Structure 1
Amino acid sequence: MFAHVAQAQTPLPEAALNTFYDQLNAYRTARYEPLPDLEALQLPSTFSGADLRALHLTERHIVRVDLVYTAFRLNPAFNQRQLNLSRIRNLAAGLPGLLTDESITWTLVEQTGCASPTACQPFFHGFVVYVTRHATAATSRADLDSLTRKLRLLEKKRPKSAKKAPGKKVACNLPFTRLTNRQMARNLRGAYRCPERPAQIVKFELTVDEHGATRSVRVLPPAKPLCTAELEEALRQSIVFASGFPINRRQFPFIVRGAVRLPMGPWQVVGQPDLAFTSFSLPDSVARLYRVFLKKKNPQHKHDYCEARITRAGELLADTAAAEEMPLPPDANVVTRVMQRHPEWSKEVVVTDVTGSMFPYTYDLLAWLQLSALQDEKTFVFFNDGNDQPDKDKRVGKTGGLYQVRTDRYETIRDKLIETMKAGGGGDAPENDAEALLYARQLTAADSTDLILIADNYTFPRDAKLLKNTTAHVRIILCGVRDYINPRYLALARKHGFSLHTIEGDIEDLSKLLEGEIITIQGQQYQVTGDGFKLVQKT
């Protein structure tokens, strides 16, 4: 993709550019924050050819482009749309094929957190380009080495009996905040200035890293209107942790959930503070090392507290430097969570992408299989997008790299998945998901058999048109949903009657929606368009 930066390009027709622009996702936020777990490259609004060459697109491919600007303007007649169109036209001229690449997700982001030229000056203006490196034989070998190390660790700690050993007790504390709850609530009252403050309890969720830095803030959909972006920014400013989650003299990332009472006021109502934390949770990778129990305050403890015991896996990890945990995305256990949520999915055929971008979820699938013990034979189809053939030689419907196994033995499934990974790592971003689904459908004896597709949220299949006449019902588990669901998957589900499943919940019956409808899905608002869906508000 984009093997070179062109010096001169034929301008895109104005009508085509306007049509492209009208379908873009768009949302407002106080101040733009790049996604923490994707490689982000910033192109200022005054980018040059040298800036484009610095993207090194011979070594990596684009998965998402955000055009970021501020809402403030000195001249009321200023036309932001025309400026945005001009910037997109300039970028497309330097990167041929950019606007026609359906694997790339585009988003307009309007920042609302400044109200003067001086205040807006430090805000970023321009393109944020998210990239991922091309899969190569070397990266595939590294992924395989890491996967086998992690699987060995997982297999060693697999309990030999149903009863879990209690484990050695280790030190554990709830994460410390830099201020008291009362002080944070006072700061929140000062930072949150919204004219619409109907009385209600609003829930929120913060993702915090191992150093105590807040990575994301999300206000859950409230019952009544409020200034969501402003509240999220106020929470980000007011709630500051001094550390990660301390366990056994180590610090771990965590998620904290809480609630805000609106309208906020002085702490005069006993038992009804403006701000309260309701729960803490840890990544599954930490739960495999330690059994952590959150306890409510009691006569011996004035505050909520925690207890932790080290597992056999934790002991092995402490003694084995080579078994270091690799960094995993926040939803790395999405396969396990969805499968546990749906124990009735016992006969479905599982189709999964095992290319480089899916490595964390490949491991999650095997971890779930190892711990769930299959009762009956199950069919799996693994695909690697063409057995490492060059991207230019891949043909829709004939890409290949499909491997299948039917068994009830974990070891057989594991070996077939590793065989598929050894045969190819993927190459470019789009994969041959539809080809794999149709292949899986041919393997099933009964037309009623449903298919489960484990797919990358930001990498839409290059061959989705192959599903034009399919009658199969497909349940798509979306991996890597970092801030919103790829509207192309929503459109695919609506068109064919598929269902979508994320770590947060299930999305069904999209085919019942009418064009023009605006719906809220997991806190984000999408509009049904003639071509599918587009994000119209990120809350």
Structure 2
Amino acid sequence: MPAEIKAGQVIAEMPFGYSNILKISGDTAGLKTAGDIFVDVACTDYPINASLVSLNKSRVASFLKRFPFIEEGQLAQVNFFQQTDGALREKAITMFHGLVVTFRPRQTVENAKKEVVKLEDIVKTGTPVSIEKPATANKKDSATTDLERYYASKPRKFQSGKWYILVGRGGIASMDRDTPKKNPLDSFITRDPKDALEEGLINKSEYKEFKGSSAIRIYYPHWVSEEKLMPKKPIKVTEKPAVAINISGIPDSTILKILDRTKWEKATIVGDVTGSMYKYTAQLLLWVKTNPIGSSAKNFVFYNDGDNMPDKDKKLGRTGGIYYKTCNTYAEVEALMRGTMLKGGGGDFPENNIEALITAEKAFPSSEFQVMIADNWAAIKDKVLWGQLTKPVRVVVCGATEFNVNIDYLNLARKTNGSVHLMESDLYNLSGLKEGEVLKVGKNTFVVKNGVFVETGYDLTDK
């Protein structure tokens, strides 16, 4: 149960083993104008491994019965959380059971206007000011930074609390010719070609290619821990006065932290400006204010999922509501964003993300990759089109928690050889994870199955 109930959130407490509502608290008035609704059902794994499907469905039904004006079609997502530390009945009874309901207002033209005003207030509150930095500060050694860039393209895996990177060349080389230059990260064995075939180290076609060699060298890529490959070596440097953003008065700082940490250069920025994204897109404007146009980004694409087109009329790949421009001033970026917001609020929550990315690729073909400012609440509507993307997508996920990173964005990054970026972490080389390998993000666990990420559950005991 959340420590603090926020606007757009309702808590329905229920007894252990039953679906009747004991207590309702939170923003119940807001439910009357809610758009899509997201429900987290909390239960306890007691008796262990017992099926709780029927009970949990009854709990959702009780909530809908209490608020009859809510249509079942508004339930955009229902998650079930089984608390595993209630093995004893005495403890299970004391734990929270019931629903945590989160929602956003139904999007209208009037809401869009209000959100533009809120966006302007946030930008005004966080307007950058010059600050004096100390004469010296810790900074990464340039060699370490170069290593990070180099290894960013290598496959990674997360195991036993550490990140590992796949290093070293693969393949076969004849010892009778010029062998590859030695690299301390290479791992290899030397064999007579016939012995290698008999030991199963090479196949018949490889033996046919190298059978005339007196000996061959067989290279094997291998996993090495990230901390061994990139030891942290901070150095002292003199810093110039810098520009800082006042984040104490703004409701969220996810985008500011990610963009400051990643320091991407000359990227195309593709931003979702549909309903309730204003507190994130305001941060993008603040970031543009502190970074000269052109040094970090000047190509911007904003989309609103159809310019208020009725949901029933939206066609995959032809939904529209996408506006783009090469901007030379902050004012141009702000005007493009405001104009896109006022033309539509999104309607249904799944968005036309891929259509926007395809548009961006065509509009700005010289960009090496795209940075997508994405709404974690909104699933990708047009996933069927992502095979048309040809450039990596670096997804900045807004509104994610340790329980609910949207799997669509993990798979988008995997499909495009891109990356996913959260408030406190960056997930690179998702495409390097092999079938059956596991990815843990916060308390979520995902496994690669048939080439895509599949959610396997939550670790509620992980503190």
TM-score range, shorter chain: 0.5 to 0.7
Cα displacement (A) at 1:440? 0.7
Cα displacement (A) at 1:67? 2.3
Equivalent residues in 2 for 1:218-367 (5 A)? 288=246, 325=249, 328=251, 332-343=252-263, 345-367=264-286
Give the match's secondary structure for 2:388. Answer: coil
Query: Structure 1 residue 536 and structure 2 residue 457: aligned?
Result: yes
Query: Structure 1 residue 108 and structure 2 residue 113: aligned?
Result: no
* Structure 1: 5+ residue stretches without partners: 1-31, 167-220, 225-285, 291-324
Residues 71 and 111 of structure 1 are in contact (CA less than 8 Å); yes or no, is this contact kept in structure 2?
yes
CA distance in 2 between counterparts of 1:519 and 1:346 reads 28
Cα displacement (A) at 1:164? 4.6
Which residue of structure 2 aligns with residue 191 of structure 1? none
Residues 433 and 461 of structure 1 are in contact (CA less than 8 Å); yes or no, is this contact kept in structure 2?
yes
Q: Once the two structures are superposed, what CA deviation does each residue of 1:447-482 show, in whole Å capped at 9, x if it has no partner?
A: x62111000122112122221232221111111122
Which residue of structure 1 aligns with residue 288 of structure 2? 369
CA distance in 1 between counterparts of 2:108 and 2:57 reads 36
Query: Structure 1 residue 436 and structure 2 residue 356: aligned?
Result: yes
Alpha-carbon spacing, 1:91–1:396, altered in 2? closer, same or farther (3 Å)? farther
Which residue of structure 1 aligns with residue 322 of structure 2? 402
Which residue of structure 1 aligns with residue 121 of structure 2? 149
CA distance in 1 between counterparts of 2:356 and 2:350 reads 13
Residues 69 and 111 of structure 1 are in contact (CA less than 8 Å); yes or no, is this contact kept in structure 2?
no
CA distance in 1 between counterparts of 2:449 and 2:261 reads 31
Equivalent residues in 2 for 1:509-524 (5 A)? 509-522=429-442, 524=444
CA distance in 1 between counterparts of 2:265 and 2:364 reads 14
Alpha-carbon spacing, 1:86–1:131, altered in 2? closer, same or farther (3 Å)? closer
Q: Once the two structures are superposed, what CA deviation does each residue of 1:304-355 show, in whole Å capped at 9, x if it has no partner?
A: xxxxxxxxxxxxxxxxxxxxx56x1xxx222222222222x22211000112
Equivalent position amino acid for 2:82 in 1: V
Which residue of structure 2 aligns with residue 426 of structure 1? 346
Question: TM-score of the superposition, structure 2-length normalised?
Answer: 0.63
Q: Once the two structures are superposed, what CA deviation does each residue of 1:56-114 show, in whole Å capped at 9, x if it has no partner?
A: 877323453222112233xx7x8324545754896899888759x8x526233325257
Alpha-carbon spacing, 1:534–1:35, altered in 2? closer, same or farther (3 Å)? farther
Residues 487 and 535 of structure 1 are in contact (CA less than 8 Å); yes or no, is this contact kept in structure 2?
no
Residues 43 and 80 of structure 2 are in contact (CA less than 8 Å); yes or no, is this contact kept in structure 1?
no
Q: Once the two structures are superposed, what CA deviation does each residue of 1:352-385 show, in whole Å capped at 9, x if it has no partner?
A: 0112221111110000110122245711001112
Which residue of structure 1 aligns with residue 102 of structure 2? 130
CA distance in 2 between counterparts of 1:56 and 1:407 reads 38
Cα displacement (A) at 1:287? 6.9
Give the match's secondary structure for 1:147. Answer: helix
Cα displacement (A) at 1:404? 1.1
Residues 62 and 129 of structure 1 are in contact (CA less than 8 Å); yes or no, is this contact kept in structure 2?
no
Tell me which moved more, 392-401 or 407-416: 392-401
CA distance in 2 between counterparts of 1:441 and 1:407 reads 16
CA distance in 2 between counterparts of 1:152 and 1:96 reads 38
Equivalent position amino acid for 1:59 in 2: T
Question: TM-score of the superposition, structure 1-length normalised?
Answer: 0.55
Equivalent position amino acid for 2:357 in 1: L
CA distance in 1 between counterparts of 2:256 and 2:278 reads 14
Which residue of structure 1 aligns with residue 376 of structure 2? 457
Residues 419 and 429 of structure 2 are in contact (CA less than 8 Å); yes or no, is this contact kept in structure 1?
yes
CA distance in 1 between counterparts of 2:438 and 2:247 reads 43
Q: Once the two structures are superposed, what CA deviation does each residue of 1:510-538 show, in whole Å capped at 9, x if it has no partner?
A: 22223332233356432233463214343
Alpha-carbon spacing, 1:472–1:133, altered in 2? closer, same or farther (3 Å)? same
Residues 8 and 104 of structure 2 are in contact (CA less than 8 Å); yes or no, is this contact kept in structure 1?
yes
Cα displacement (A) at 1:442? 0.9
Choose which of 20, 33, 40 in structure 2 pairs with 1:66.
40
Which residue of structure 2 aligns with residue 279 of structure 1? none
* Structure 2: 5+ residue stretches without partners: 135-158, 163-243
| Structure exhibiting the larger radius of gyration computed from Cα positions | 2
Equivalent position amino acid for 2:397 in 1: L
Residues 369 and 392 of structure 2 are in contact (CA less than 8 Å); yes or no, is this contact kept in structure 1?
yes
Cα displacement (A) at 1:489? 2.0
Q: Once the two structures are superposed, what CA deviation does each residue of 1:211-236 show, in whole Å capped at 9, x if it has no partner?
A: xxxxxxxxxx9859xxxxxxxxxxxx
CA distance in 2 between counterparts of 1:362 and 1:340 reads 15
Identity of aligned residues (%): 27
Equivalent residues in 2 for 1:71-110 (5 A)? 71-73=45-47, 79-83=50-54, 87=58, 104=77, 106-110=79-83
CA RMSD, aligned part only?
A: 3.7
Residues 394 and 421 of structure 2 are in contact (CA less than 8 Å); yes or no, is this contact kept in structure 1?
yes
Residues 504 and 522 of structure 1 are in contact (CA less than 8 Å); yes or no, is this contact kept in structure 2?
no
Which residue of structure 2 aligns with residue 249 of structure 1? none
Residues 384 and 420 of structure 1 are in contact (CA less than 8 Å); yes or no, is this contact kept in structure 2?
yes
Give the match's secondary structure for 1:395. Answer: coil
Give the match's secondary structure for 1:468. Answer: helix
Equivalent residues in 2 for 1:195-210 (5 A)? none
CA distance in 1 between counterparts of 2:286 and 2:351 reads 24
Equivalent position amino acid for 2:307 in 1: N
Equivalent position amino acid for 2:387 in 1: K
Which residue of structure 2 aligns with residue 469 of structure 1? 388
Residues 116 and 338 of structure 2 are in contact (CA less than 8 Å); yes or no, is this contact kept in structure 1?
yes
CA distance in 2 between counterparts of 1:153 and 1:519 reads 38
Equivalent position amino acid for 1:352 in 2: G
Q: Once the two structures are superposed, what CA deviation does each residue of 1:114-134 show, in whole Å capped at 9, x if it has no partner?
A: 7335x5445333443322211
Alpha-carbon spacing, 1:520–1:398, altered in 2? closer, same or farther (3 Å)? same
Q: Once the two structures are superposed, what CA deviation does each residue of 1:229-281 show, in whole Å capped at 9, x if it has no partner?
A: xxxxxxxxxxxxxxxxxxxxxxxxxxxxxxxxxxxxxxxxxxxxxxxxxxxxx
Equivalent position amino acid for 1:138 in 2: E
